[in-house]
């Protein structure tokens, strides 16, 4: 990646908030296309986006379908980190219930990613 730039997007909203769930993936794809390293971290209801099938029907007005964006994000080399305690409290099992490429982590890893980033954004 050029200039070692890195962005971290923390996503706290799930399928019930299509815009809040979609826009970070729009931004992330644009960043990856611009040679910026990207990590998306999902916490709270945001972890539902990494639950197989839950994002499939999500489409915010004016934007591509969320599942398409999440596929583009993965294909462009984005990394998706999922909050372990948040999936446990929702009965989501790892790795079987999670989408391809999702990595379960805890607070220490999130902090390390954010601390090493050029910038972080919270959605």
Binding site for another protein (CB under 8 A): 2, 26, 29-30, 33-35, 62-64, 69, 72, 76
Minimum distance from CB of 80 to another protein (Å)? 17
Minimum distance from CB of 92 to another protein (Å)? 28
Give the residue from 104, 119, 98, 99 showing the smallest Cα distance to 28: 119
Give the residue from 102, 99, 77 showing the smallest Cα distance to 6: 77
Residue 76 vs 114, nearer CB to another protein: 76
CA–CA dist 38, 64 (Å, integer)? 19
Q: Are 8 and 39 a contacting pair, CB within 8 Å?
A: yes
Minimum distance from CB of 116 to another protein (Å)? 21
Residue 36 vs 39, nearer CB to another protein: 36
CA–CA dist 32, 24 (Å, integer)? 12
Minimum distance from CB of 37 to another protein (Å)? 14
Residue 47 vs 49, nearer CB to another protein: 49
Residue 44 vs 121, nearer CB to another protein: 121
Q: What angle, rounded to 10 degrees, do the helices at 18-33 and 66-75 form?
A: 30
């Amino acid at each position: 990646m050029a200039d070692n730039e890195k962005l971290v997007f923390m996503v706290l909203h799930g399928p019930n908030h299509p815009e809040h769930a979609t826009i970070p993936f729009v931004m992330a794809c644009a960043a990856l296309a611009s040679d910026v390293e990207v990590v998306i971290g999902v916490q709270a209801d945001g972890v539902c986006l990494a639950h197989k099938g839950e994002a499939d029907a999500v489409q915010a007005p004016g934007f591509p379908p969320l599942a398409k964006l999440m596929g583009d994000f993965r294909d462009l080399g984005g990394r998706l980190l999922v909050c372990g305690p948040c999936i446990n409290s929702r009965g989501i099992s790892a790795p079987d219930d999670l989408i391809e490429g999702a990595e379960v982590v805890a607070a220490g890893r999130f902090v390390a990613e954010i601390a090493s980033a050029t910038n972080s954004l919270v959605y």
